[in-house]
Amino acid sequence: MWVNFDKLPSTSRVWVFQSNQKLTKEIQASIDRELKAFIEKWSTHGSQMHASHVLMHNCFVIIAADEGKQMASGCSIDSFTGLFKAFGSQYGISFFDRFSIAYKQDEEVQVCSLDDFKSKIGLGEIKASTLVYNNLIASKSDLLNAWELPLEQSWQKRYL
């Protein structure tokens, strides 16, 4: 059952999918429609998931599930992971590129390859205070409080 993202508790589990490039408005609208239809029917072991999704900064798709009502099973997680693989094939993008880094520059999120990210650090275009994204967060509370953080506080700080 799809519910409003804002209505989910802060303890809800989240999965962050970052595309390796900016998503056009058309692609975002299509993904939004397909994900809403998927979540409306999403269930685990025969029980309906209470879940939602949100698209952010033209490159992130976040799924959240209230596991206080129903725990997500491995198979149910695999089902939406498969959907993101299909999005990749359909739109020529990847949500599984571990060498793609998102950072904020002039209040806009940019996406680049790890090599470009390192180069931009070397050129001084990206600094220790530049905001980056920790896509390994686990809860909606983390999304609100620990997802966006300065490079110097992130796992990417090793590239400074």
* Greatest C-alpha distance within the chain: 53
pTM: 0.93
Tell me the residue range of the domain where 123 lies: 100-159
Number of domain units in the chain: 2
Please indicate, yes or no, whether residues 69 and 21 belong to a single structural domain of this protein. Answer: yes
Q: How far is the C-alpha of 5 from the C-alpha of 131, rounded, in Å?
A: 24
Question: Per-residue pLDDT for 74 more than 90?
Answer: no
Phi, psi for residue 3 in degrees, rounded to 5:
-125, 160
**Which token pair is 37?**
């239809």
Please indicate, yes or no, whether residues 86 and 11 belong to a single structural domain of this protein. Answer: yes
Question: Per-residue pLDDT for 72 more than 90?
Answer: no
Condensed to tens digits (0 to 9), the pLDDT of residues 51-66 reads 999 999 999 999 999 9
Q: How far is the C-alpha of 79 from the C-alpha of 111, rounded, in Å?
A: 26
Please indicate, yes or no, whether residues 81 and 129 belong to a single structural domain of this protein. Answer: no
pLDDT at 135: 95
Please indicate, yes or no, whether residues 28 and 82 belong to a single structural domain of this protein. Answer: yes
Condensed to tens digits (0 to 9), the pLDDT of residues 82-133 reads 999 999 999 999 999 999 999 999 999 999 999 999 999 999 999 999 999 9
In the β-sheet with 13-18, what is the strand arrangement from edge to edge?
13-18, 60-65, 51-56
Please indicate, yes or no, whether residues 70 and 147 belong to a single structural domain of this protein. Answer: no
pLDDT at 73: 83
Q: How far is the C-alpha of 106 from the C-alpha of 110, rounded, in Å?
A: 10
